[in-house]
Chain A
């Protein structure tokens, strides 16, 4: 059961809300955990036990670290056992998918990395040991984030899980955020995906420069709005159940540099990689060579977040190279150039990166890149491109608009000048979004 289904929005969600708010305070966490496990069962019943065993194992390792107190070697052992187990699971299941097309268990990366991060934090003394297994299990498996994240640290959720304070404003913000994510997914991501699928049916010899641009653009929009929609829904669901999840995406296509893009896109994964890989490796404190290697490794891991595939790895390398280029050569120049140009530079750099992401082979990526700059033998425009463009112009414009913060700026301005009108408009807009989303799920 995915989020954008009638079953989830109109049955699972209201029933869960009623159960959660109907339960006494002490039982709220077990109820929410039960709801999360039920959600997982409906998604991937065969791997429920694996998930429970995995997080329980990590919980035990954290407990052993606590028990070892100051004995460093006894503390290291459970830490290594935890890291090894989790990395092994990620690699084995990732390779199984690559080699034998066996699907990766739902949420594998989320619950393994979440639990592993927690055990590392307990080892480093950054987090206290959580005595209540239910709290820990909910932190790892909360249904709102199990599909696509965000990747949270225990400190992000601990206060909310332990000292839960349900509030009307939390539910309100949560509902609005959830519906906005739902609409992003159903209206923007689905339309972009349809467009991308159609473009893929064009025989290679019938492509044109414009259709290759549209192909990369539609792929980018599909990926971005799917993820950003899921993250909004996750944060919205967390708020509905009186928890807060960190923001995972903040208008990344408005970034002025590629490094800034990574601080705004998949934020929690970037932070995780920085915290547990980049910093542990020494970050930028051991000289230029070490910084280069650490950046390269971290960026490659950010690529591998999307799956164990060569092109995802290359995607990471591409960004690492750009980030290093910016750091050592371009940064001063970029800060002096007008904002519009730096934003265009980042947008194009990111868009080009998705040619690597979208391609099955390196050869295909090179073909796309050459074609986008008119270096191949493709015509600039033809009937195929004309058809795709004419049937998708409005949705492309809406996608471009949704990439920017213009909407929220306009809303704020309207609210400042005409608060009543703005409130009324917001209500109509939100309820309208839910209605349109429902109609698209039918």
Chain B
């Protein structure tokens, strides 16, 4: 009985103490208690209150980390779709949305089949989950979407119509290297370099050696998107390395949003503090970006892709005087009137497998195809 009384006393003290600590924490942080309004369903409102309480829970991060460690000790290795590897976090992209995937593949294929004199290359970029399999528990891949099969099947449908780029094999062969950030789903500078070598080869160019790029380690304390989502936080921060082609004298990156602005560098470092570390890559994905590399030899490339492709573009700028990058997730479709695929020497369609199986944006290439058809008819 003594033990029960003492336990109850301690537990009550813990509960009431925690309540007081939550109040104090929220006051110190200035976070306001969610207000109810008539548009709420009670369930949503309670969800907001729960999130508020979790955010202000004393030692919340430490407790959450301890819970994950306890579960890891009990044999679990996946938490909320994130695998805890050996000092790395790997997101499981889940199973595809079949309707979305079907539309994306169909529209890309229709675009490729459109008769045009501009050669098209297609790159489907595998995610970290598919490449860093050595970090996953044995047989975990059985439960995941088979990215290798998907890429092979998608490429075989494009055979003879477009140049397909097998980044999967190259990345897998070098999977022991620092190809993906430990705390983010994106490619590191080195990962992008490996994809670049196979990409430019397939596009009929000679890839430059690593010594043709100056490498600058600008951050050693980067925590990415996966880290933010993960309940497990005990991971070494990432290093951001920038690859700058040595053959460029002057280079500019122009963004076309509601207004136009230009950076005279591939890597506007000042943006890291303002809009997140990875916005250092060309200034972030705004949907319509043009890189002018100042190369004497005039060669242009039009890229349809998503933000996972951004680390590749600075490397490609060593070969093209102009690269235009369009991401249908963020673009302004007013530009359709002036966009003519024929104005470019080459076209690259490059998406991560994650985007292909979940996002509806790759299918929007249909608008470009229809516009191109009108151009050709005129």
Contacts and interface: CB of A to CB of B under 8 A. Distances in A.
Interface stretch (A3-11, A142-150, A363-371): A3-11
A27 interface: no
B50 interface: yes
Contacts of A442: 54, 57, 60, 63-64, 67, 231
B166 to A, nearest CB: 26
B46 A42 contact: yes
Contacts of A202: 143
Contacts of B64: 439, 442
Interface in A179-193: 179, 191
A391 B84 CA distance: 13
B19 A10 contact: yes
B11 A431 contact: yes
A431 B6 CA distance: 10
Interface range for A? 35 or more
Contact of A430 (B11, B140, B231): B11
A16 to B, nearest CB: 11
Given A10-B22, A430-B7, A442-B67, A387 B140 contact: yes
B3 A391 contact: no
A386 interface: yes
A36 B4 CA distance: 26
Contacts of B241: none
B18 A10 contact: yes
Contact of A198 (B22, B66, B138, B143): B143
* Of A10, A13, A383, most B-chain CB atoms within 10 Å: A10
B57 A6 contact: yes
Interface string B221-246: 00000000001000000000000000
A297 B78 CA distance: 45
A11 B10 contact: no
Residues of B contacting A: mostly:
helix
B339 interface: no
A201 interface: yes
B102 interface: no
B8 A171 contact: yes
Interface string B2-27: 11111111111011101100100000
B3 A14 contact: no
B75 interface: yes
Given A198-B143, A423-B3, A442-B60, A42 B42 contact: yes
B67 A440 contact: yes
Given A169-B5, A440-B67, A394 B46 contact: no
Interface in A404-442: 422-424, 426-427, 430-431, 434-436, 438-442
Interface string A1-38: 10001110111011101000000000000000000000
A200 B6 CA distance: 43
Contacts of A430: 3-4, 7, 10-11
Contacts of A14: 12, 15-16, 19
22 contacts: A6-B57, A7-B50, A169-B5, A174-B8, A176-B7, A191-B71, A387-B139, A387-B140, A390-B139, A392-B76, A395-B75, A398-B74, A427-B10, A430-B4, A430-B7, A431-B7, A431-B10, A435-B14, A435-B63, A438-B63, A442-B63, A442-B231
Interface of A: 1, 5-7, 9-11, 13-15, 17, 41-45, 168-169, 171-176, 179, 191, 194, 198, 201-202, 206, 383-384, 386-387, 390-395, 398, 422-424, 426-427, 430-431, 434-436, 438-442
**What 5 pairs across the A-B complex have the smallest Cβ distances?**
A387-B139, A439-B67, A430-B7, A426-B3, A423-B3
Given A201-B95, A438-B63, 4 more contacts: A5-B50, A44-B42, A179-B11, A430-B3
